[in-house]
Amino acid sequence: MNVAIPTEDKQMQAIIEKVRAGERLSREDGIFLYKSDDLLTIGQLANEVNLRKNGRKVYFIENMSLYFTNVCEAHCAFCNFRKDEGQPGAYTLSGEQMIEYVEQHIHPGVREFHIVGGHNPHVPFQYYVDSLKALHERYPDVTLKAYTAAEIDFFSRISGLSYREVLQELMKVGLKSLTGGGAEILSDEYRRKMKVTKADVSQYLDVHRNAHELGLRTHTTMLYGSVEKHEDRIDHMAQIRELQDETNGFLVFIPLSMQPISPKAGIRRRNSAFEDLKTIAISRLMLDNFQHIKAYFINIGTQLTQVSLTMGADDVHGTIVKERISHSAGALTPEGITREDLIWLVKGAGRIPVERDTFYNEVKVYE
């Protein structure tokens, strides 16, 4: 039963009525919510939507993040992970070297490898195929969730293959899902300002469209908190909502809070907790055709992740083991987390932890 939300704002009341009636929010509604400082009303409304979709269940996965190379031809302004070939700290691992790393760090129960990396032009497309093949042959029961849409576009350019052909080659060696990265903000103006020279807006969306048509379910993100306006964030959500209407291929939306370049950066260089919670809640309200909204503890911290579970989020990601991209910038959070801590985090918010696989099939419910 919905609890009355006291508000004297007529536009907010109209939004409440639309959401409760199952009507889609407009661009203007989303922009209004961003400009509002009524976080409690926005959060409560997002909580209602989430409870309607997912009940009190909150999902997590036993996964492990892997990075075959940090050499990258792109020079995105927000990235501190990338290196040039030959630069100190640059690396490109073979499949055998990655297996050696995994053997040292893997723990029982890992059911997904989350694989992303640099756009390394010094190796052929076959290197990226062989990387997945080596992992799949050694760990056939671990799902390969690999590469961003921007990486798929890069592979297409260096190989001369179409997006569909690239994806089909990777699927032959075990690819089961794409990661959500590379979206940043889906605005060409933003991409110019932030020197995002990888896949443009239409290319990012087209890679996911092709993946969905081939039967892959994929993830998608939004990296917020730099030069974009609130309008840009809402337009970003509208574009992925439109593609989801077309394909129903996205599993989850992941708002990513921008990290400053240095861990020594002060609070004025970071997104506020207010902004992070509002973005998660608005995502839940705008993306009516997405089943899941993820709170990414690597970027917002474990405690704020816990609060977000009452403001629209129903997924707390996974164990990760050793995250590198956000931590190569200014992330101050743990590089990974245990299953026990994730269960504690979810239960502490009064929710039911559910271990899942990549595709949100339930593995175990921790009542």
Annotated binding site for [4Fe-4S] cluster: 72, 76, 79
Binding residue positions: 72, 76, 79
User: Using CA atoms, how far apart are residues 95 and 133, in angstroms rounded to an integer?
Assistant: 8
Q: Are strands 143-146 and 352-356 parallel, antiparallel or unpaired?
A: unpaired
DSSP string, 59-105: EEE-EEEE-SB-B-S---TT-SS-B-TTSTT--B--HHHHHHHHHHH
The token duo for 12 is: 């907010």
Question: Can you say whether the dihedral through the CA atoms of 50, 55, 56, 62 is positive or negative?
Answer: negative
Helices 273-286 and 27-35, packing angle to 10 deg: 160
Query: For the chain, how many helices (H) and strands (E)?
Result: 15, 11
Rounded to the nearest angstrom, the gap between the alpha carbon of residue 83 and the centroid of all alpha carbons in its chain is: 23
Sign of CA dihedral 280, 283, 325, 176: positive
The DSSP 8-state label assigned to residue 267 in this structure reads G
Q: Calculate the dihedral angle through the C-alpha atoms of 218, 195, 30, 256, rounding to the nearest 10 degrees.
A: 50
346 near 316, Cβ under 8 Å?
yes
Q: Is the C-alpha dihedral spanning 201, 207, 208, 213 positive or negative?
A: positive
Q: What's the DSSP call for residue 268?
A: G
Name the CA dihedral angle for 155, 159, 161, 162, rounded to a multiple of 10 degrees. 30
- CA angle centred on 226, ends 200 and 218, rounded to 5°: 45
- Our CA angle for 181, 183, 185, nearest 5°, is 135
Tell me the C-alpha distance between 170 and 320, whole Å.
Answer: 23
